[in-house]
Chains A and B, each alone.
Chain A
């Protein structure tokens, strides 16, 4: 069996003349929680649509659970749970009617008991119409439809965006339970970097339709050295090997640079000292701060 749940290679998608995704390589190992990060408009939703066979790539290749989404879209959809950013549930249907309708797409795999259990846990009224549900209730219902056929892969596009803390807790706990089972894979896009940081094994950061980097969260934190210091004159960037960002904030400079080993780290520190760095200190390294360094100061995840 293929070790990756999702692979793309040199994947391109153009909208007219405009490239939305460019030469995108990505791999999501089975059993992992993968967080895709990027600014609005960086191509995340387009990528998901390509993975589900809802769009055709302009060129390049993608594979989901060992199948080609353009040829085997139905086979893929029967094994992949998908929670879109905006739920596409029919507002005139009731909660139980929605589940009955959706279950028809999963003959043999739909587990009514699982759906019932989640309905109870999320305290959703079975007779209510979708139109009467709050945003948070709709998000919970969408999650039930995506999980009740025990998919091998769960794809979520901003699953907790705009939801209150209680709904977010429900979603996160449900995701944790889902990945506790063997070989269950989650692919999610989220703006909430603190959540991604706690949940993801691996992250990909895309910008302008290109993959800036793909790495485990631990590796990313270990490899990006973030320091701040005072300088008399602005630091000379060319002298700083692996520099990612160098910004003036108040009276200090914040510097982020790749340092893949202890000796590279020492070399960076030495270079900074040579340039007259005073009061040099190591900065915190949350995923959010790393994201801002990599994608630029105007980024909002």
Chain B
């Protein structure tokens, strides 16, 4: 496959206005599936969480999961949507082996929630993203293509299907076209998904793990000539499974569209696949408006008609508005605007909040997540939330630092141990023997050894060149394998060479 020609991002914006559209699928964390009683746990043995209904066996019928409807309404309300007084499920008909009935039970022209918005913060500015609809549907099974180079269906020797995922409840949240974003389009896309994820987490309706596919984003993008006020032909990029990728995919498609349009060619309306590793999109199946899903109301289900009393009751269960919450937290934590923005931008707000709640000082919590953890997540190419380090762990490590039992360098080794799955922070400290040696006897010996081994340096310090102590501190720390309080070592050196 030849690489796409790309136009540098800045040049794209000289000629074109981008229009974004985001379709986010949220897998609900209900105990049972959308239309049957099967469990929904992630990672079970293939085809063990199935029944006649979610396997689409002849004669089996669906029954709507009330908790899923409740979650859908709460998501709708949190997105400032109107909630339908009466809506139906519809069949979306198309053939695919991982779809047991060869139709997906979804909603079509009667979504449960519609006409909402979300105010997204980017670089301290607020941008309103309008929500067209949020509707309920069921997930498909999962195909595994065996053989062949890419894990794609083409070139595979055979395919296996796991129907455990078939029938898991999904909420699809669709934005109206987001126009006027200009150069901030990639950032707005990322911020929208991040904020939506935070909202979903706050609502407690999903595991909200992008790496496990419990939040999946499809990015629609089109370009139109600058200032034309029209909408161009769009592509739909699927499989965008991290916040970072949302931003990158938008950038990539903007640059690719611009190159195609610059050459006087037109954009093909199609589905594209995002490749996390190479950072490019490739053409998937062609999708045109002519693709006909032959939607019609699902005759095996009765309409969903949530009473206004129920909707009001659910409105009372909504978490705090994210904008207000951020302002409240910033004040409580004493963060600067920049610190707060960085925390939100890194997708660390919830983690920092939980770490502080577990006892850590705000600045310490922020420091660990935004420096060390962010670096490690970046290296591993995963989200912060996907790291094997929890806010409770970070709070405990910080407590050990505060107690003088660890220094920052040792703390990092504890995090190494946590990422390696070696146990709890305390277990790792014990197993790795990481506690700071505060015994002046052992330290004193090490200091004496360092002075003896570095007579020149010792002489300088005796002559009052206190700054030279650093070299001796280094030697002592080396001998102590880092398990010493550098401040105490310095005191001891200066005492002995006074």
**A joins B in a complex:** no
Chain B residues in the interface with A (C-beta under 8 A): none
